[in-house]
Amino acid sequence: MENNSLYQKSSIRRLPELAKLTPETFKAFAEFDKLALSDGIIPKKTKELIAIAAAHVTGCPYCIDAHVTNAKRLEISKEEIAEAIMVATALKAGSAIAHSLNALQAYDGENNEDLYQKSNLARFKELNQLSPEAFRAFNKFDLEALKPGLLSRKDKELIAVAIAHITGCAYCIEIHVKNAKKLEVSREELAEAIFVATALKAGSALAHSVNALNAYDL
């Protein structure tokens, strides 16, 4: 029977073909990816947790497989991985709810050239009035996902900042960078977390090239 799966674990073995097709570019990305995920001010363990969270937002099964395997080698537990995934889930949902501020502006005919005004954050209270039960349920989930557990609040805010850069949510970046600063996260730590996010977002595109190769060869 023909296998119709578009995501086979073995497909990732085709990645070296891309290195032959675009050798210099592939080499440059591989060097960047290695550096972004290596030990720095943020330890490799935390970076792998950020990577796992990021892979769930980019929706890259190859990346999830690779970074969970890396995390297991670092003796990261299933529970720690689950906490990281829940932060990613809260931030992906949070991006959607944050963009509702733009929806309210558009509905009221108040959108001007600047679509991301900090003052729009005050309109969150309107969502509580328009859909109170769902709004309260989301807030409860968001608070639960970000509170300290096996992962510290600091690590969770670093994950949150990274994910906010992947979702491209200016409001989320504003909120979680401020939260991180209150926890004495340094600019250097912020930068390292952002580069992990950058590597994973780019890595997702690169990993999916194996699907492109498979499709091209059909």
Show me where the domains of the chain are located. 22-211
Q: Is the CB of residue 150 less than 8 Å from the CB of residue 77?
A: yes
Give phi and psi for 60, each to the nearest 5.
-105, 105
* pLDDT (0 to 100) of residue 2: 54
pLDDT bin (cut points 50, 70, 90) of residue 105 is: confident
Determine what percent of the chain is predicted with pLDDT higher than 90. 80
**What three-state secondary structure class fits 113?**
coil
Q: Which residue intervals of the chain are DSSP H helices?
A: 15-21, 23-37, 44-58, 61-73, 78-107, 124-130, 132-146, 153-167, 170-182, 187-207, 209-217
pTM of the model: 0.92
Q: Is the CB of residue 44 less than 8 Å from the CB of residue 37?
A: yes
Average pLDDT in the 31-48 region? 97
- Return the ∠ at Cα 40 (arms to 82 and 16), rounded to 5°: 75
Q: Is the CB of residue 79 less than 8 Å from the CB of residue 150?
A: yes
* pLDDT (0 to 100) of residue 98: 92
Task: Convert the pLDDT of each residue in 149-193 to its tens digit.
Answer: 999 999 999 999 999 999 999 999 999 999 999 999 999 999 999
Interatomic CA distance for residues 21 and 74, integer angstroms: 33
Interatomic CA distance for residues 51 and 67, integer angstroms: 7
> Which tokens go with 177?
């960078």
Tracing tokens 């990613």 back to the chain, one arrives at 88
Query: Is the pLDDT reported for residue 117 higher than 90?
Result: no
Interatomic CA distance for residues 114 and 116, integer angstroms: 6
- Which superfamily does 22-211 belong to? AhpD-like (1.20.1290.10)
Q: Is the CB of residue 15 less than 8 Å from the CB of residue 23?
A: no
Interatomic CA distance for residues 80 and 73, integer angstroms: 14
Query: Is the pLDDT reported for residue 6 higher than 80?
Result: no
Q: Is the CB of residue 196 less than 8 Å from the CB of residue 37?
A: yes
Give the closest residue to 200 by CA, choosing from 15, 57, 12, 70.
57
